[in-house]
Amino acid sequence: EVQLVESGGGLVQPGGSLRLSCAASGFTFSSYWMSWVRQAPGKGLEWVANIKQDGSEKYYVDSVKGRFTISRDNAKNSLYLQMNSLRAEDTAVYYCARGRLFPMDWGQGTLVTVSS
Amino acid sequence: DIQMTQSPSSVSASVGDRVTITCRASQGISSWLAWYQQKPGKAPKLLIYAASSLQSGVPSRFSGSGSGTDFTLTISSLQPEDFATYYCQQANSFPALTFGGGTKVEIK
């Protein structure tokens, strides 16, 4: 059974940093593109970033470029999102998801709240 | 950037009804479209990919159609467990992915 478990969310002040993790199991992690998708409270889904199987390609939505970094450790079956210079508008549930074009499996999400 | 517009934003329906949700892309995306279902407090679930392919394990009452700019998700006979919010997502501009604004299916 595919499992994706996010962690690392919490309350952070504007300008602060947070590192999200996603632990993967039940599939060959190194064979899949992975993504982060977020959902602000009461709002729709927004793709944030994705990363190729070997980590050689990384892409970001414009609003997080230069502030967020996606990475992965295939030996640990883990996906990460380093978030710096956080803003109030980054407040959301962050999901990790498996798949290239149409993410087929999603974690339960971790809530990031940016507030003073 | 490709924009995805869903309509309606909400629909009220009864169990057994046929429900149709529309998604329009701001430019042609061929068949690079998926549909997701999301229930409150839960992660999205992939229903349809490549515009009309049913994801494994998804009931056959769900179907997708369309290509180019106009797409449709149809639930042929609404069941109690289908009350949720539905999102379309385009992958034509991969690696950038874009979601529609969502359609909430509510109980009439």
Q: Summarize pLDDT for B43-74 with one digit per residue, the tens.
A: 999 999 999 999 999 999 999 999 999 999 99
Q: What is the pLDDT of residues A46-58, one digit of tens each?
A: 999 999 999 999 9
CA A2 to chain centre: 17
**Pair type for strands B10-13 and B103-107:** parallel
Q: Which of B52, B53, B94, B97 is the best residue to mutate to test the A interface, defined by the most A CB atoms within 10 Å of its own CB? A: B97
pLDDT above 90 for A5: yes
State the CB neighbour count (10 A cutoff) for residue B26: 13
Of B32, B46, B98, the CB nearest to A47: B98
Q: How far apart, in Å, do the first and last CA atoms of chain A sit?
A: 40
Mean pLDDT of the A74-78 span: 98
Ramachandran angles phi, psi of B27, nearest 5°: -150, 165
Of B32, B34, B87, the CB nearest to A44: B87
Which residue from A minimizes the CA distance to B86?
A44
How far apart, in whole angstroms, are the C-alpha atoms of residue A54 and residue A14? 32
Closest CA relative to residue B84, chosen from B52, B62, B53: B62
C-beta atoms of A102 and B102 within 8 A = no
Which residue from B minimizes the CA distance to A5?
B43
